[in-house]
Amino acid sequence: MFEDYEIIDLSPELVPGHEDRRLAIRPFIFEENHTTMHDIDMMSHVGVHVEAPFHYKEDLKGVSELPLSIFFGDGLCIDVSGAGKAGAITPNTLLESNRSGGVKPGDIVLLHSDFLGQDVPYISRECAEFLSNLPIKMLGIDNSIRLEQPGGMATHDSLLRKDIPLIERLANLDKVKGKRFLFFGFPLRIKGLDSSPIRAVALVRK
């Protein structure tokens, strides 16, 4: 069924001990059958991860409480470089730069720009509200986008309050920018967890 698709891995390999956030693994021998297992000590926001509403407010849903259907579906990656150096990404930026037919309700929307470091554009309140009102299914970014205007929480507030998860630290978005694809990014099903690492994958039709 998927032979007509190219698989693009949007999650870089994580190396325990070499990440900027806590990720440690410790092997041990499982005595019952002498196989190898690991203890894992990690932050829930290591590598590519999906943030559930509980991350923003304690009384909102954790990763295991959201329906599975949220975490996969029609995706697109929009190049928002048009917002400019450290500029605001507005609903207009999405329209002007989108070569993939516009954002539709139910889309998983990934944003990418050509900027790095302090120069990356941020998602404006208007843009967050536009996306949450459609509504989209999930919003994902890489390090070329700032989720919030410095000091603000409008993106977390608009999207997470409506059960629209946020994905951070995606990789390889340059390979899918301007395209539509099938997106998959499932969290671990652990009760009480605010966020979870995911293996983010785009299937692009050849």
Please state the closest distance from residue 14 (CB atom) to Zn ion, in A.
Answer: 14
**Tokens representing 112?**
């990418």
CA–CA separation, 66 vs 68, rounded Å? 6
Q: Which of 8, 10, 23, 45 binds Zn ion (CB under 5 A)?
A: 45
CA distances from 122 to 33, 112, 127, 155, 158 (A): 52, 11, 10, 10, 15
Please state the closest distance from residue 194 (CB atom) to Zn ion, in A.
Answer: 9
CA–CA separation, 74 vs 85, rounded Å? 29
| Centroid of chain to Cα 119 | 20
- If the CB atoms of residues 45 and 137 are measured against Zn ion, the closer one turns out to be 45
Size of the site for Zn ion (CB under 5 A): 2
Site stretch for Zn ion (CB under 5 A), options 22-30, 39-47, 75-83, 180-188: 39-47
- If the CB atoms of residues 46 and 83 are measured against Zn ion, the closer one turns out to be 46
- What type of residue sits at position 114? D
Q: Can residue 168 be called a binding residue for Zn ion (CB under 5 A)?
A: yes
Please state the closest distance from residue 67 (CB atom) to Zn ion, in A.
Answer: 21
- If the CB atoms of residues 45 and 112 are measured against Zn ion, the closer one turns out to be 45
- If the CB atoms of residues 107 and 168 are measured against Zn ion, the closer one turns out to be 168
- If the CB atoms of residues 81 and 164 are measured against Zn ion, the closer one turns out to be 164
Q: Can residue 177 be called a binding residue for Zn ion (CB under 5 A)?
A: no
Please state the closest distance from residue 70 (CB atom) to Zn ion, in A.
Answer: 17
**Phi–psi pair at 13, nearest 5 degrees:** -70, 135
Residue 102, helix vs strand vs coil: coil
Give 12-81 as a 3 state SS string.
CCCCCCCCCCCEEEEEEEECCCCEEEEEEEECCCCCCEEECHHHCCCCCCCHHHCCHHHHEEEEEEEECH
Q: Can residue 169 be called a binding residue for Zn ion (CB under 5 A)?
A: no
Residue whose beta carbon is closest to Zn ion: 45
Please state the closest distance from residue 87 (CB atom) to Zn ion, in A.
Answer: 23
> Which residues would be at the binding site for Zn ion (CB under 5 A)?
45, 168
